[in-house]
């Protein structure tokens, strides 16, 4: 049994940091009541400050009215007690990227919230399957990987664990869409789609600078103007947080080893003369 989206009224968020507060904000903006929990009162307060700043930006850009911002604030309650999530209809965990901490949180959530409630994790690289195994509801655990800054970024990656039920996957897509996001789906493989590809890109940008290929400004400018991304690798790494990048990179390195050699398929395509758009065939057909 999985709750349907139309029966969801209250969203629980575990973690009030950059990601957790962003998730709490978008859920409240979408009209849900939100309970945002962190381990210390000061962290909860910081989460509210982040939300306040973001709402102020939206109001000053006339993307949100004062009344909508006010209503959003009013829908979010803060707590340090996990038991206060007992009445939530779905919970999204966005605590630190530490497997043991996440497994402890999921074991506690499993006790705290009714058994038909879906527990989602915002993990960026850790295994959904391993996190889910800390509960007795592995089929109702799913990855809901938001992008930073959550209030602005359109995309959410739905990550399907080994035991995740198909209905739960559908529910995760529907919930994210209801929060105004667009989704794609990834199997529970290290880094999923986004970080598996993004982290080597960031690391290569950092190495290019470190090895004197170009100044940091020119590495960023080259990638921005050369490939039409909003931020170059060094800027983006700074935006994400270098600690988070390092954590994610270490997980990928442990799980996947040396990913920096040219991909075998790339060489095979070139040998076959499939050079992309100009030959009518690359990875896609034109
Ligand atoms: N809350 C509300 N609004 C915000 C905001 C926030 N936190 N941050 C930015 N905005 C709004 C601004 O109001 C502005 O609106 P406008 O277009 O009407 O002027 C708009 O977003 C752009 O903001 P700024 O002009 O201040 O700054 P930029 O133009 O540089 O845009 C950005 C900021 C949206 C962050 C853009 O630079 C960008 O898209 N960068 C790439 C971000 C990215 O790739 N994120 C994903 C990282 S990977 C990840 O998160 C996965 C994790 O697991 C590691």
* C-alpha 218 – ligand 1 centre gap (Å): 21
Q: What is the share, in percent, of the chain residues with pLDDT greater than 90?
A: 90
Checking DSSP bridges between strand 10-14 and strand 141-146, what pairing results, if any? unpaired
| CB-CB contact of 125 with 140 (8 Å) | no
| C-alpha to C-alpha distances, 266 to 83, 101, 164, 201, 272, nearest whole angstrom | 51, 39, 33, 16, 10
> What DSSP element (H or E) covers 28?
helix 18-29
The answer on pLDDT for 151 being more than 80 is: yes
Q: What is the share, in percent, of the chain residues with pLDDT greater than 70?
A: 100
* C-alpha 149 – ligand 1 centre gap (Å): 6
Domains, the chain, ordered by start: 5-187 (3.40.50.720), 194-279 (1.10.1040.10)
Mutate which of 52, 55, 152 for ligand 1 pocket (most atoms within 8 A of beta carbon):
152
Q: Phi and psi at residue 141, in whole multiples of 5°? A: -115, 135
Q: pLDDT tens for residues 164-206?
A: 999 999 999 999 999 999 999 999 999 999 999 999 999 999 9
Which residue do the tokens 């990913």 mark?
Answer: 259
pLDDT of residue 4: 86
Mutate which of 55, 57, 182 for ligand 1 pocket (most atoms within 8 A of beta carbon):
57
pLDDT of residue 260: 58
Name the residue at shortest CA distance from atom 53 of ligand 1: 124
* C-alpha 261 – ligand 1 centre gap (Å): 31
pLDDT of residue 263: 75
Residue 58 — very low, low, confident or very high, per pLDDT cuts 50/70/90?
very high
Structure tokens at 152: 């602005």
Name the burial class of residue 238, with classes exposed (0-12), middle (13-18) and buried (19+) by CB atoms within 10 angstroms of its CB: middle
Residues acting as catalytic residues: 124, 145, 157, 195
| CB-CB contact of 47 with 78 (8 Å) | yes
As a whole number of angstroms, the distance between CA 173 and CA 159 comes to: 10
Query: What is the pTM (predicted TM-score) of this model?
Result: 0.94
**HSE-up (13 A, CA, CB side) for residue 117:** 25
Name the residue at shortest CA distance from atom 38 of ligand 1: 230
pLDDT of residue 171: 97
Phi-psi region at 32: left, alpha or beta (left = phi > 0; alpha = psi -120 to 50):
beta
Q: pLDDT tens for residues 100-123?
A: 999 999 999 999 999 999 999 999
Q: Which of 120, 78, 93, 84 is nearest to 15 (CA)?
A: 93
């Amino acid at each position: 049994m999985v709750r349907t989206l139309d029966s969801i009224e209250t969203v629980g968020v575990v973690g009030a940091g950059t990601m957790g507060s962003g998730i709490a904000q978008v859920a409240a903006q979408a009209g849900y009541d939100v309970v945002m929990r962190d381990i210390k009162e000061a962290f909860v307060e910081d989460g509210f400050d982040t939300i306040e700043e973001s709402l102020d930006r939206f109001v000053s850009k006339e993307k949100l009215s004062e009344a909508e911002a006010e209503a959003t604030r009013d829908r979010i309650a803060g707590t340090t007690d996990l038991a206060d999530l007992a009445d939530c209809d779905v919970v999204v965990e966005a605590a630190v990227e530490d497997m043991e901490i996440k497994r402890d949180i999921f074991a506690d959530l499993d006790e705290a919230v009714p058994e038909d409630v879906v527990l989602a994790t915002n993990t960026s690289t850790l295994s959904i399957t391993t996190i889910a195994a800390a509960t007795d509801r592995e089929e109702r655990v799913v990855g809901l990987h938001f992008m930073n800054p959550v209030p602005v970024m359109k995309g959410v990656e739905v990550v399907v664990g080994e035991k995740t039920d198909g209905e739960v996957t559908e529910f995760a897509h529907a919930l994210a869409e209801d929060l105004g996001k667009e989704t794609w789906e990834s199997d529970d493989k290290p880094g999923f789609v986004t970080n598996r590809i993004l982290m080597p890109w960031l690391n290569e940008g950092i190495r290019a600078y470190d090895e004197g290929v170009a100044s940091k400004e020119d590495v960023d400018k080259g990638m921005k103007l050369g490939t039409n991304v909003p931020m170059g690798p060094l800027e983006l790494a700074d935006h994400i947080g270098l600690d988070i990048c390092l954590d994610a990179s270490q997980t990928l390195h442990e799980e996947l080893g040396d990913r920096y050699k040219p991909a075998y398929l790339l060489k095979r395509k070139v040998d076959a003369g499939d050079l992309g758009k100009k030959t009518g065939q690359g990875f896609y057909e034109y």
